Structures are given as structure tokens and as C-alpha cells.
Amino acid sequence: MSWHGLPVELKRKVFQYIHDDASKPSSRASCSVVCKGWQMVIEEKTLETLEVTPKCLYEFEKIFSGSLRRQGCLKHLWFRIELPTYSRLPSDTGETSEEEDTELSVSSDALLRLFTVLSKWDADQVLERNGRGINLELSAHSPSDQGNMSGAAGLTSMGEDRFLPVEVSLVGDELPSVSNVTGLSLLRRNMRRFRHTTISDLVACKLLRLDDIHLELWHHPSGLWADIFDSWLAEGVNRWAVSLKKINIFQHCETFQGPRAKKDATLARNIEDLGRRSHSLEELGLCNLIDARHFFESFSRPRATPRLPSWKNLRHLTLTSGLIAKDADSASPRDLLQSAATAAKRMPALHSLEIYNATTAGAGIFQYVILDPIAVINWASIWPYNLADDVKRAWKQVAQCHRLTPTTLEETLIHGYEGPAVFVHCYVVSRALVLHPSSSEAMIGDRVFEDPLVRMGLKRWAVTCLHKERENEALARITLSVNNPEVEEQELRLVTLEVFPDMTLGTLRSSIEAEGIPAPAQHLYHDGQLITDNNKTMQELSITDGDMLALHIRDMRGSGVAPGPREQPAAAPRRQASAPQDPELIRLQVLGDPRLRAELQRINPQLAANVDDSQRFAQLFQQSTNQQDEARRARMREIEALNNDEFNPEAQAKIEELIRQESVMENLQNAMEYNPESFGRVHLLYIDVKVNGIKVKALVDSGAQATIMSPSCAESCNIMRLVDRRFAGVARGVGTANIIGRVHYTMLQVGSKHLPASFTVMEGKAVDLLLGLDILKGHQATIDLTQNCLVIQGEKVEFLGESDIPKETEDAMNEEPTVQGPGGTTIGARSGAVTAPTTGSSSTPPAPAAAGPSSAAPMASRPAAPAAPAQPPAQAQPRRAFPEQDISTLIELGFDRQSAINALEATGGNVDYAAGLLFQN
């Protein structure tokens, strides 16, 4: 086979191999003239990172204009603004007004030209292809800057920057908006500062899809200019976009001088408010910009309005604080770290939290790093320091909130301190996220540093210390005596468990649940006393080695807990008769559980109103029980009367129907309790394809024999003219549909693959394009539900999400017939999807629990109160008042208040079930 006969994919693999194997970039570039395919491979590598100056913007626009492929290759764009030269030393005198005006004009014109070029790009296509846009790095410098720098790394011995406070700014408001830039960087190699208003304008108004900010700020260390700049930046942060995911800011001067003793806390509060408004923030690094104590103090600041959950997606947090210093009061770091622990409990996705201080005078760091399933707590400094016990205890609680095992390492004393740059590389775990002068080759040269986790032995120490702590702890063995009154003729069951002194009662309940006993049914007694506080540890409860606890299994929902496999006697009947319920035990449980009391208020207001009166409660409870028994006896009398007339065909038919209905309802209840996911709506599998260059959402249906297209889709794809009407006919299946004809050949693009395909054009379909077995099997496609994609000829094409599925198909599914389900719900006859009851519906309430065995199965997650006494039909059932915390939890998931209340009504106040019901609908 000749070279030109090879498939395009194979050619590109050969080019890629030659490109990666080439030793010199020049030799690779010289081969770009071989053929078009080789040129594409070269361009993908060459155009990935570019350095552009205003002088070459014309060539830059010419190369990328109109080429989506080239635009998609660009990942990082460094735009260098060149300012006029000068002959003076920057530290001798400031710029003249003419020089300043000239520089402002040059920088404004350069940014205007760049943004004008970028605004013409097809941002949607680029983002769809790459998943991310361009990272734009801006810098401004004069050719005279490098030769006139003074001091190490362009700073004086006191850390002052190279220039007086003259900053790069924009003139006018004509800068166009850009949608294809997702990252903005102002790094150390930038020779001039950018004015804070310019940064805020770019972040808030001009870069519409920005989600990543990296700033290295050159602040003036003297008090006046430093305070002014902090206030400017604090005001600018309030304008930043709430879609930001990564914010990393580093201020240089304090690396040399040390943090200022007095810092404005306004910036810290505004950063915290930005995180509160931005639910997407994942990384936050603020080094030498604010003091960590101001940041963490804002978490406990009282507010007039209820506090909303914040920082729920934050993974990495890195801050600096002047309180971490050799001469600092010992109580200061302790208070700081305790405040940080309080804040960390509200960061469920946290992976690392580091607070450090690194100057020419010294360095120290506190770290909370997650190495799943271990959370490492560590301190390192150049001076001796021991973490206080209350600090260690607070951070252990943080680890337990994150469902991790806390491990506290021994405090590290650093010997041979080499300065702040080396310290960051050696000890800061999030060093890749922290901007620092260590990025300067003049300060660290070509030195290669190990991963701080490896250097400090955190990975090894974490595992070693975990085993060591477990070995040193007083391992206790306790015995549970299990008693389940719902199981008759049960044998004595003893369960032995191993516990640690710091294990909480809630953790013990989880261990017992693994034995087949649900947590809500567990009633634990120690020394004759009921223990209920799940937050207390074994040590606080005085449970020691060899103790015996009584486990009383009592389900407060009206039917016994299903015993585990070891509890069920072999000769036990299929259904046990319920043991008599104790009204006083139920009343006490209602008094101790606010949610159960609220549920009783909804189901039986009269009983809930008398829960404080034991005699009246027992009387009403007995009345309710008697009514249920009477209803059950009436039903049995009806069945008995039918059985007495055994030769009556109508009576036998009624008995058969009653038995069938009971089996159906029992089967439905079992399905809703043990297999609730079967009632969720399964969405169809759609992918994005292109037919004749037109984008279409195609349904993947392996049960269809042929690929079918609707006439409207054929018209929009400009292939209706190719329909061969000799293949017209009628399709018969579930109903009938007219076949207009057949398109014998056209190109179908799936992912990057171009496949030949034929379509049957048929009326009466709600789907534009249905990919049948002829295409799936012909091109060896695989429906991979594990990865949620269609694999065709080795390429993975993800199925569309729920929000991207065509609305017409979902509307057709919503028109399906429904049947009545338990609790006022409706169930789709075809899909099986459960829908919540309509608010204010006048439909008949469900039958009482005593009507039959099928209605006695309670919800598995929450105890239910006894059924209410019979009410007159005309009496409206009072609407239940749910805890405001439960309603707020559902509202924070994105639903309105009324929908949240309706869902809680439908699920009996269970927040988890209510959330699942809202997402299903």
C-alpha cells in the first residue's frame, strides 16, 4: 500500500512518532514542508505556547484568523508590551509626566489591539474542542529595565521594587470583551506593575469566561503606598467574577522585610465574601498579601442574615501570617490555628491547608494535608515549637468531619535554613500553586527539589504513625447482648466488637449496622442507662475493655426491624405477628426526637398535642390502635364471608382479585424500599454528531434495526433531495409510520471520525436521528455505560447530559399514562418514574396502615408515628411545618422553597428522600 493510501489516523501517528523522536527542534520544523499532515503535527506543538509583542500582532492575527484548528492549538499566550527606553537609573528619580503619558498610551494601545484580535475568534468552538481556553500572561517592560535593575532579583536590599509608583494602566473604556481566555497571569518576569483598576476591569468585565488568576504583585513596602494599594485591591476584589475557580496572589516585598505588623483586614473580608459568592472556587493562595488571622476571623464574624454554606468546593488553601515567627507570643499561633480549624470544618472538599511565613529572617509552616484515608497534621520551623494539645485536638476533629483518620507528626526543627525561596520548594506541599521568588533562576538556579511529601517523609510517616498510634492505644473489646422482641423464640446473641478510646458512639453504631441492624433501631444501654449522644467517645462514656452493652432492637415505626441472617430462626414463619407496642416508650422517643415529633404533628395532630400528657397520650394511642384492629377485623370478616360461599364463582373471583392486589402492593412496597432506583427515570442515550456538516443530536438505539431520520432533520441537513422514494412504505411496530424513502449515502461525523452512512427517512418520530444497529454494528461500536460513552473505532464519544437531551423527547415521555402509588405519588406506566403528589390535591388519601399487610411496610429511613384516628371526609388534613434547616438544605441544592416543601410532604420529612425525588423530577 502506498503512503497516500494509508488512513489519516495512521499517518498522524507516524508523524507524531517522528516528531517525538526528533532530537532538534530545527530539524522538526524543516520537515513541515513534507506534506500537509506533517505541518499539522508541527503546528500543534509549535503554537501551543507563544510569546507575542505588539510589533508582531499583525502576523499573529494573520496566522490564526479563520483557522479553528490553529486557534485550538494555542494554550499559553505571553503578551509582552514594550515601553520606550530611558537612560536614568530607576532608583534615582521618578518618571516625568511625559514619560508616564507615553507609557500609558503605548500599553493601552497594545492591549486594545490584542483584545480586538482575540474577540474575533470563535470561542465556543475552541472551548468545545479543548475544554479550556487560553491562559493569557501579560507583562510590560522597557529595554532599559534589565540593564538598570538594582539589587538582587531587581530589588533593593530592603525589598523595594525597581520603580516609583508608576503603573501600567488603560486609557478609555473601549477594550472589547473576550470569551476564549480562561486564565490570566501577571508573573515575576513582569517588569512593571499593572494598576489595580486595570486588573479589576479585566477580571470583572473583559474576560467573560475567566476562572484562573495568577498574580505576582510588586508592592511598595513603605507604609503609605502599601496601605493605599491594599485598600485599592480590596475594593477591586468586590468586582471580580464569581465563576473563578483558582486565585493565587503573591506579594514580593514582604519576603525580604517580613509581614507588616498592621494590615488592613478589609481585603481578607472581601476575599472571603468572594468565596462565599463563588461556589466554584477550588484553589486559593494569598501569600504575603493578607494575614491569615484576618481571613479566619471573618468566618466567625456575626451577620444579620443567616449564613449560607461556603467554600464547599475549595480543595487547596495557602496563606501566610506574621504570627508564625520566632519572636511571636506562643498564644498567637495557637489562636490562629484554632480559628483555622473552625474554618476547615466548613470545607468538605479540602485536600490541603497550609499557613506559613518565610522571610530572610526565618520560616515556619503549619500543614493539614490529606493522604486518603489519613489526614496529616504537621509543623516545621527553624525554631523549636510544640503544637498545643487543644490545637491538635481541634484539627483531629477536622479530620473526623472529613471522615479521615488524623495523624499528628512530631514537630520538625529545620537546620541549615537557606532562605525563603528554598524553603517554599522544600516544605510547602502546594508549591505548584504558590507563586514565589523561587521561580527566578537567579535565586535557585537549576536545582531540582524533591516533592515535599517525599522529602519530609509524610507519606511514609503517615502510615507508620497510624499503625504506631493504633498499637499504643488501649484497644478495648466490648460485648453486645442483642435483644429483638420482634423475633419469637430467638436464641441469645452476643456480638464482640473492638473499639478505641477516641471512637465515637456514632462510629460504633455504624459498626453495629454492618451486623445487619439499622442504626435507627439501635437502643444501647450501658450500666442500665440509655446512651444517645453520638458525638461522645468511648472514653467519655466510660466504656472500657471487657464491658457488656445491651442492644435493644426496637423499631418505632409500627413493625419490627428485619433481623439479620443470624437472628432469623430456621423454622420461623414467613410473617411474624407484631408485638404489642408500648405507648410510653413511643411517647418518650417522640419527646427526644424533634423530627419524629414534627412528623407526628403532620400525621396525627391530636396525638402530638398530648405528647406531654402520658395518660392522655396512652388513651389516644389505644384508640388509634383499636381503630386499626377493627378495620383489620372488618376486612377479615369480608374475606371470611367470601370463603364461606366457596361454590360461588363471583366470590372466588373477588378472593382471587384481593389476593392478587395484595401481592401487587406488597411487591410495589418492597421495590420502593429495597430497589428505589428502579423508579427513577432513565434518560435516553444521545450523542452529538454531524450530518453533511450540520450538527444533530442523535439517539443511540441498539434495539432499532435501521438508522432513521425525521423529514425535518433531512431538510435541515440538506439531504432531502437525495431521498430515493422508491423505498417508500409503511413501518409497523408499536403503531405504524410512513416511510418516505431512503438516503443511500452521506457522511456522518461521530467525534473526529467520518463514517459513511445511509438513512431511512420516516414520519411520525419525535427523534431527529436514531442510530440503529446497521451503523452501530457496521462500524463496530460499543455502548460503554461504565464510562458513559459510545466507543466507535477506538474513539470515545460521551453521551449527552440530561440538560442537553432534546426537550421534545422528554415531553413525549412526560405524556405517558400513570398509576396511583403509595403516599399520593404517581408512577409512570412505561418508565416507572415516581412523581411527587401535587400540592393541594383533592385526591383521596391513602388507606390506613391496618387495611392490609401490603400497606404496613414503613419507609426504611425514618420511624413513623401511629396512624391517625379516622377523620371525617370533609376535614382537610393540616399542612405540616418542617424544620427551616431541612427546607434550607433543599433550597441550597438549587430548588425553590415551594418545591422543597412539597418534596418533604411527599417523603414524610426525610431530607435525603426529598432531594432524590426533586432530582428525579
Tabulate helix, strand, coil % of the chain (nearest 5): 40, 20, 40
Catalytic residue, from 145, 211, 701, 768: name it: 701
> Residues near 256 by Cβ (< 8 Å), separated by ≥ 6?
155, 157, 158, 159, 221, 359, 360
DSSP assignment of 503-562 equals -BHHHHHHHHHTTT--GGGEEEEETTEEE--TTSBTTTTT--TT-EEEEEE--TTSSPPP
CA angle, corner 307, sides to 303 and 312, nearest 5? 140
Q: What single letter denotes the amino acid at residue 771? A: L
> 10 Å Cβ neighbour count for 400?
18
Nearest by Cα to 755 from 6, 7, 3, 1? 7
CA angle, corner 737, sides to 736 and 742, nearest 5? 140
C-alpha distances out from residue 316 to 273, 402, 559, 842, Å: 17, 14, 48, 52
Assess whether 124 carries a catalytic annotation.
no
Q: Which residues of 491-512 are buried (b: 16+ CB within 10 A; e: fewer)?
A: eebebebebeebbbbebbbeeb
Place of cell 519530609: 456
Q: Is residue 763 within 8 Å of residue 697, measured between CB atoms? A: no
> Residues near 716 by Cβ (< 8 Å), separated by ≥ 6?
694, 696
> 10 Å Cβ neighbour count for 918?
20
d(CA 717, CA 218): 56
C-alpha distances out from residue 302 to 58, 238, 265, 306, Å: 55, 20, 15, 9
d(CA 275, CA 196): 20
Place of cell 514565589: 436
DSSP SS3 for 69: helix
Helix runs in 314-457, H state only: 331-344, 389-401, 420-427, 441-444, 452-455
d(CA 496, CA 474): 16
Q: What single letter denotes the amino acid at residue 606? A: Q
d(CA 55, CA 695): 39
**Residue 897 buriedness (CB in 10 A; 0-12 / 13-18 / 19+):** exposed
Q: Which residues of 792-814 are buried (b: 16+ CB within 10 A; e: fewer)?
A: beeeebebbeeeebbeebeeebe
Beta strands in 701-768 (DSSP E): 708-709, 729-733, 735-750, 753-762
Helix or strand (DSSP H, E) at 791: strand 789-792
d(CA 641, CA 420): 93
CA dihedral 672, 676, 678, 684 (to 10 degrees): 140
- Helices 331-344 and 389-401 meet at what angle, rounded to 10? 10
Catalogue the active-site residues. Answer: 701
